[in-house]
Amino acid sequence: MADALMAPREAIQRLLAGMTQHGASDMHLKVGYAPCYRITGHLRKLDMAHFPDSKYIEEMLADLVPEGRREAYQKQGDLDFSARGQSGDRYRINVFRSTGDTHASIRRVQSQIPTFEELHLPPVYTETVNVNQSGLILISGVTGSGKSSTLAAMIEHINATRGSHIITLEDPIEYVFQPKKSIISQREIGVDVPNYHDALRFMVRQDPDVIMIGELRDRETMTAALQAAETGHLVFGSLHVSDAQQTFSRILEFFPREEHAFIRSSLANSLRAIMCQKLIPGVEEATQYPITEVLLRNSTVRDKIIHEEDDDIPAIIAQCESEGMRSFTTSLCELIEKDLVHYDTAMEYATSREALASAVKGIKATAQTLVSRTRAAR
């Protein structure tokens, strides 16, 4: 039997605490439904009373909405903001109107900024940040693939190892950085600056070495990222696409056809890496691991970008793994070899099941050869 409806402000604090307790990444609040947690990628409905109306949900969120932002929701029917819970965790909250009712999606952001190792990311992520002082590094993936955590790990790595001025533009701020070797200015859209347009217009006048744009969402943000990268800044940004090849078509969608040649030339000169990731279920319950695809710019990649030969990108990645590039297939093989994911699970997420099956056979053959040699040596 579902629990009785409790006071709205008490309910939200219990639900937020429950997210931490159960390891939920997201929570959904919807009129006429019980709250749902997303745990290791799966939605789980809680055994609680259904929310009666919009007023109840709005009262739940009343103490979390930043001062002066409620009017924006009433006008636009959509509001993004961040808040801190009693546990110390931060939450990225989107309140939106649907069929006249107020709904909300809440993402939990851990208070501790993760390291590359904690995120199970390969060494090429650390190496890419270390060797580049300028240029554009893109983190790509679908919603919920861990892009924000990866960006945070990159910024924190620079913060701990370099004396740089880092400026972030976020909507909203998720991870909060404490200055170490670097100084960091975090600007939240709608709080510290009205919009991306104003933030981007003055950004390069603020003497940054490193710029992080939380999401490259349109022509304006993409143009600003390219211009900053071309003028000696190291720029990080994220895109909602599933692989490296699609990243180029997504960027070009922001611009009219007559500008594509110019944008391709700019990308060819400024791009340093495209790092794509997906989260897949692990062998142990409530675990997830990233699979990654990494494209690093070299002379071949540069030529392919300029000459509109994006279809060759997967083959280049496969051929240049000795240079640090990675395919999703290689990533899946490593997880299988370490017994972190089941073979059947890996097959579900494989971009090419034939390639994965062949690669796994190669691993097994190599392992068997090593065993045979060891026995012979005895």
49-67: b or e for each residue (b if 16 or more CB lie within 10 Å)?
A: bebeeeebbbebbeebbee
User: Tokens 């701990």 map to which residue?
Assistant: 160
Task: Find the radius of gyration of the CA atoms of the chain.
Answer: 23
Give the pLDDT score at 244: 96
Confidence of residue 2 (pLDDT cuts 50, 70, 90): low
User: Tokens 């391709």 map to which residue?
Assistant: 264
* 63-77, 164-178, 193-207 — most confident range: 164-178
Give the pLDDT score at 370: 36
**What is the average per-residue pLDDT within 227-246?**
95
CB-based contacts of 229: which residues, under 8 Å, 6+ apart? 134, 135, 136, 235, 270, 271
CA terminus-to-terminus distance, the chain? 65
Give the pLDDT score at 112: 87
Q: Which domains does the chain have, with CATH numbers?
A: 8-109 (3.30.450.90), 123-358 (3.40.50.300)
The model's pTM is: 0.85
Give the pLDDT score at 88: 74
Burial status of residue 356 (CB atoms within 10 A of its CB: 0-12, 13-18, 19 or more):
buried
Task: Tell me the three-class secondary structure of 81-138, residue by residue.
Answer: EEEECCCCCEEEEEEEEECCEEEEEEEEECCCCCCCCCCCCCHHHHHHHHHCCCEEEE
**What is the average per-residue pLDDT within 149-175?**
95
| Residue 16, token pair as written in the block | 């937020």
* Strand order across the beta sheet in which 288-296 lies: 183-188, 165-170, 210-213, 234-239, 135-140, 271-281, 288-296
pLDDT tens per residue, range 34-89 = 999 999 888 999 999 999 999 999 999 988 888 777 777 777 888 888 888 777 77
Counting every residue, how long is the chain?
A: 378
Give the pLDDT score at 372: 45
Give the pLDDT score at 109: 85
Q: Are 295 and 312 in contact (CB under 8 A)?
A: no
**Ordered DSSP codes for 154-178:** HHHHHHHH---EEEEEESS--S---
| Residue 35, token pair as written in the block | 């709250």
| Residue 92, token pair as written in the block | 């990225």
pLDDT of 11 strictly over 90: yes
| Residue 153, token pair as written in the block | 């790990």
**What is the average per-residue pLDDT within 175-192?**
93
Angle at the Cα of 145 from the Cα atoms of 143 and 149, rounded to 5 degrees: 110
H-run or E-run covering 348: helix 343-349
Q: What is the mean pLDDT of the chain?
A: 90
Least confident of 69-83, 98-112, 175-189: 69-83
